[in-house]
Amino acid sequence: MDMSENRSKSMEAKKEAFWVFGYGSLCWNPGFEYQQSVTGYVKGFSRRFWQGNTTHRGTETKPGRVATLIEDKEGITWGKAFLISADNKAALPYLSTRECQLGGYITHTVNFHPRPILFTSSTSSASSTSEKKDALLYIAVPENRHWLGAAPLPDIAKQILECKGQSGPNAEYLLRLADFMRDEIPEALDEHLFSLERLVRKFASDMKICLRTLMGEQPREEEKAEVKAVVPSFQFASRVPEKKLRCVNM
């Protein structure tokens, strides 16, 4: 695991383009301008829904659970890296508010490995785009004020299904991340993420909760008849205007 806080400070101070690696909501809702994005992975970490959240996907009395990374020598976590140009002065302050102030994350720098290109016209382009790169990463560590830590997967799934925050239901966060991984990196494995998704879908079905409504979509005609407990629809992060999150008025 190659992660250092000093490198991240120097990266933030540098006046050149830099990469930010996302492995949770940043994958499907970065919220900042970027020059390009590349799917890929970091080594030495595994993704876990062990970080509590009392703003975007939970409240002080009913905290939700969002993604963080835990050190795991054999671990590989797939996500998406975003290249932020040197003249983009808004991205870092936005991320600092969204991730650090509201979310309890801290910054570190890691090696980001772009997803290998299967076919390319020339070896030079393949080598330049597939080389590992320094990337800024926001990680929640056990010492932070929102940390919840490990719990049995069914308990985490029930908590996610029950919680909601200013950006919408906690289940939306989980399901959109699972959709991102399936759609953009179908070869990536993540037993923790997809087990949680299966459990949330099962519990929602058992409780007759319409996930389509939960995600802010209209249920199909046949679903309307059989659904008893429809979770009231909320404003959803997906409806948040580009580059804005409801609770980060920037």
Ligand X SMILES: N[C@@H](CCC(=O)N[C@@H](CS)C(=O)NCC(=O)O)C(=O)O
- Site residues for ligand X, 24-53, by CB under 6 A, read 24-27, 29, 53
Report whether 46 contacts 192 (CB < 8 A). yes
**Binding to ligand X by residue 63, rule CB under 6 A?**
no
Cβ closest to ligand X, residue 111 vs residue 227: 111
Cβ closest to ligand X, residue 98 vs residue 133: 98
Report whether 44 contacts 69 (CB < 8 A). no
> Three-state SS for 140?
coil
Cβ closest to ligand X, residue 96 vs residue 227: 96
Write down the catalytic residue from 99, 191, 217, 223: 99
Residue of closest CB approach to ligand X: 103
- The Cα–Cα gap between 250 and 239 comes to 16
- The Cα–Cα gap between 69 and 75 comes to 10
DSSP 161-208: HH-EETTEEHHHHHHHHHHHHHHH-TT---HHHHHHHHHHHHHHHHTT
Binding flags for ligand X, 148-177, as an x/- string (CB under 6 A): -------------------x-----x----
**Binding to ligand X by residue 78, rule CB under 6 A?**
no
Judged by CB under 6 A, which of 19, 23, 41, 180 binds ligand X? 23
Judged by CB under 6 A, which of 78, 103, 160, 200 binds ligand X? 103
Crossing angle of helices 191-206 and 170-184, rounded to 10°:
130
Q: Which residues of 34-50 are buried (b: 16+ CB within 10 A; e: fewer)?
A: beebbbbbbbbbbbbbb
- The Cα–Cα gap between 185 and 79 comes to 8
Task: Look up 33 and say whether it is catalytic.
Answer: no
CB of 167 to ligand X, least distance (A): 4
**Binding to ligand X by residue 56, rule CB under 6 A?**
yes
Residues of the shown chain interacting with ligand X in the complex, contacts defined by CB under 6 A: 22-27, 29, 53, 56-57, 66-67, 98-99, 102-103, 105, 138, 167, 173, 237, 245
Active site residues: 99
